Chain A
């Protein structure tokens, strides 16, 4: 089994995880699935470079370590903690049902495969699956953002979207300065941190974490 196949199967797994996140209703499972996806993605640059027969450079290692520490360990822990303290365990009555969202997600995956073929992208990418998978992950993240009610799931959707962007960034790993990558990770951390605080306060103020009850802010 050569590296190319490993990378491709990892990417397929990423898509399957996307769809799985759409299908589960338990929040804790959803967060763990996200952590798993992040783990796969964090190891991807290392796998790609070793597959080419090179030793991973400082750039790849830093990016992988950053992603690992932040998205696999830190953020899932914060989110799980919110669930524990908030005693919210399930996503009930999403705007789009679980089966339906899996179907829509599958449609999005097909669409991304169809559309990204035409894009002119840098040559010598690690896998031809990379553009469609990253597009599909971004779109699935958006779908989670749109279709789910609980604030924690919204945060997960945001994170999944970021995973897609990270995947797309792997295309340009050689060209993107390290500082930019780290900046993105920092943004992500700060974003989730703030969201966690906001979610906590929503719960404290309103005794629930449903975002759809926030629509009284709308102009009459």
Chain B
């Protein structure tokens, strides 16, 4: 048996176990989470060890789906995303064990366990599928299981809204763009196998290639969360249970990136203009995401907007890759894709950790509202440490993993801005500037998040705070370890990265050398990290040898400012911390601000409110969907409730189809004859053609 089957079989078994033992929630949860953890480990094994030797592994499952046979393939790109899935699902499974035993989460634990297994299974199948039908089945399974997981706490209104928003968004993207894209591909190649698409599109006209790419960016981008298709992210991520948010943000939205990369691997060189458009889309997505994240008050909403920013960063890499392909700059191409892929992995790890930490905060205090938190570094020091690691990683602070992928992207864009024509160089330089701005804003966003939640004095009742269960801590520790390890040991997975990039690049390119050069650049910063760490450790040792730090003079509350009786309300709030910065970007992202200053000589009450509403949501999508709802409401009289009327609708539709058929007549005798004649290049008498048609009807 091939090891590839393990990641598929274990979630299935876990799901069966969870359903069979549903009368005993703890047993059910334990079995299912164990299965997910084993499946995750198997994913990592397949990606790193089993797959390391061979380039490609094809496994036809003898399961004839309608229209196609299910087929599973592991190539470099799938293996890379398997690694991402495995790296996140193991800690999530460990974390879920503790999280689901919290008092508020006791309801429907077996259902949660089974659905989480289903989600992991669907994720694995999405990246492994080698034909359209299996891919779409897995894609839908993923959407639906994620929908049910998001809507777990369905008694709350905002949970229902978030879940439905997600479902509608993902189905609009799938139905309006992903399906048509695959239809075009299948029609061009007369096959549903992924392996046939590349050859069929190799000589496609530029318009077809651009069209397919645009459909992929819209369809998969809805899943990934590109602006303006991002609206479901800040609605769905905050309301989901935290382990699910971690998986959603870490892996589910990355399947959109996977889809785009997979599509790009089939396409010939695209025009440079498309690369510039993608670059602009990436800049807009990233800057929009991080500017909104800056102004958020709910911790998980902030993280959701930050996911949008990171997807923008990943798209920046993809855009650099497309530009490189268009202008025949292999180095730019390899660096861009490598940076994007590495950022996919890194973002899964640190954003997963951030969401798990947010879950721990909510578990401890019962709220994710940052303005009601504070000082948790004293009550929950380990949680604070894990959050700090993740926040530092997402801000690309060396020596953590986030730095490496942004390093690759900066390098790619620098190559782009020196080696291209002036116009394209300018675009590339704009990418550098945007990446730098995003980095700076991310730093202040996460400084705010960490500072408001963990530092200062508590704004909540510390006596009612719960301790974090051990398994939750273990899950977060695993991810923190991954953040550090990926930073320091990235060169070890550089060959895997190179193989993944190789899949996206066309065979025609003398790529292998370039790709390994590109991924090899990881060794330099990683080595530098080790050196710097060594020096820092030596300095600490030196300082300890010199007698260490002196005794503390006095302990005062943070932001005490010398008051005799400071209260927690006197400290910096999250909003006030970022207010100036958010205001300075108010022309880009409007900030709503209402100030009622204290008035008079003996002022007592004043008010100030500030928020960063998502204008795209409130003034574009909300009215649009309200209009759709009104239009649907108008169709209501069609529902008369009479059998005869419904039959009339059926017959009317049938007659319309019939009329259209007889007008368009693709199967009429003349048309069939004409097609047969043009196909065979010989003129065939009509009656003979009709005979063959009759025979083929048999």
Interface residues on A, range: 20 to 34
Alpha-carbon gap, A115 to B656, bound state (A) = 12
Asked if A95 and B667 sit within 8 Å, CB to CB, the answer is: no
Alpha-carbon gap, A121 to B689, bound state (A) = 11
Asked if B668 and A120 sit within 8 Å, CB to CB, the answer is: yes
Binds A, one of B80-88, B192-200, B571-579, B637-645: B637-645
Alpha-carbon gap, A211 to B697, bound state (A) = 40
Complex contacts, A95 vs chain B, CB 8 Å: 644
Given A122-B694, A146-B647, A218-B641: A115 and B665 within 8 A (CB)? Answer: no
Interface residues of B in 652-698 (CB under 8 A from A): 655, 658-659, 662, 665, 667-669, 672, 687, 690-691, 693-694, 697-698
Alpha-carbon gap, A212 to B646, bound state (A) = 12
B 144-176 binary contact with A (CB < 8 Å = 1; else 0): 000000000000000000000000000000000
Asked if A115 and B659 sit within 8 Å, CB to CB, the answer is: yes
Closest beta carbon of chain B to A166's beta carbon, Å: 18
Cβ-neighbour of B668 out of A119, A146, A172, A219 (below 8 A)? A119
Alpha-carbon gap, A147 to B651, bound state (A) = 12
Asked if A219 and B694 sit within 8 Å, CB to CB, the answer is: no
A215 at the interface (CB under 8 A from B): yes
Kindly report which residue of chain A lies nearest to residue B648, judged by CB atoms.
A146
A175 at the interface (CB under 8 A from B): yes
Alpha-carbon gap, A154 to B672, bound state (A) = 39
Cβ-neighbour of A212 out of B644, B655, B665, B668 (below 8 A)? B644
Asked if A145 and B647 sit within 8 Å, CB to CB, the answer is: yes
Asked if A147 and B644 sit within 8 Å, CB to CB, the answer is: yes
Closest beta carbon of chain B to A201's beta carbon, Å: 16
Asked if A123 and B694 sit within 8 Å, CB to CB, the answer is: yes
Alpha-carbon gap, A180 to B174, bound state (A) = 38
Given A142-B647, A215-B642: A120 and B687 within 8 A (CB)? Answer: no
B 620-655 binary contact with A (CB < 8 Å = 1; else 0): 000000000000000000011111110110010001
B 356-387 binary contact with A (CB < 8 Å = 1; else 0): 00000000000000000000000000000000
Cβ-neighbour of B644 out of A122, A146, A175 (below 8 A)? A146
Cβ-neighbour of B642 out of A115, A118, A212 (below 8 A)? A212
The interface on chain B, measured as residues whose beta carbon lies within 8 A of the other chain's beta carbons, has a size of 26
Complex contacts, B662 vs chain A, CB 8 Å: 115, 118
B 375-404 binary contact with A (CB < 8 Å = 1; else 0): 000000000000000000000000000000
Alpha-carbon gap, A175 to B655, bound state (A) = 27
Alpha-carbon gap, A115 to B665, bound state (A) = 10
A217 at the interface (CB under 8 A from B): yes
B 239-251 binary contact with A (CB < 8 Å = 1; else 0): 0000000000000
Asked if B687 and A218 sit within 8 Å, CB to CB, the answer is: no
Asked if B647 and A120 sit within 8 Å, CB to CB, the answer is: no
Complex contacts, B691 vs chain A, CB 8 Å: 123
Alpha-carbon gap, A212 to B647, bound state (A) = 13
Alpha-carbon gap, A118 to B658, bound state (A) = 11
A1 at the interface (CB under 8 A from B): no
Complex contacts, A120 vs chain B, CB 8 Å: 667-669, 672, 690, 693-694
Complex contacts, B647 vs chain A, CB 8 Å: 142, 145-146
Alpha-carbon gap, A216 to B641, bound state (A) = 7
Alpha-carbon gap, A115 to B655, bound state (A) = 10
Cβ-neighbour of A123 out of B651, B655, B667, B687 (below 8 A)? B687
A 106-150 binary contact with B (CB < 8 Å = 1; else 0): 000000000100111111000000000000000100110111110
Alpha-carbon gap, A122 to B672, bound state (A) = 14
A5 at the interface (CB under 8 A from B): no
Kindly report which residue of chain A lies nearest to residue B694, judged by CB atoms.
A122
Complex contacts, A123 vs chain B, CB 8 Å: 687, 690-691, 694
Alpha-carbon gap, A54 to B244, bound state (A) = 72
Closest beta carbon of chain B to A211's beta carbon, Å: 5
Closest beta carbon of chain B to A173's beta carbon, Å: 13
Complex contacts, B651 vs chain A, CB 8 Å: 139, 142-143, 146
17 contacts between A and B (CB under 8 A): A115-B658, A115-B662, A120-B669, A120-B672, A122-B697, A123-B687, A139-B655, A143-B651, A145-B644, A146-B647, A148-B644, A149-B644, A172-B697, A211-B642, A211-B643, A211-B644, A218-B640
Q: Which 7 A-B pairs have the closest CB atoms?
A: A218-B641, A215-B641, A122-B694, A120-B669, A118-B668, A142-B651, A115-B662
7 additional A-B pairs beyond A118-B669, A218-B641, beta carbons within 8 Å, are: A119-B667, A120-B693, A142-B647, A145-B644, A146-B644, A175-B698, A218-B639
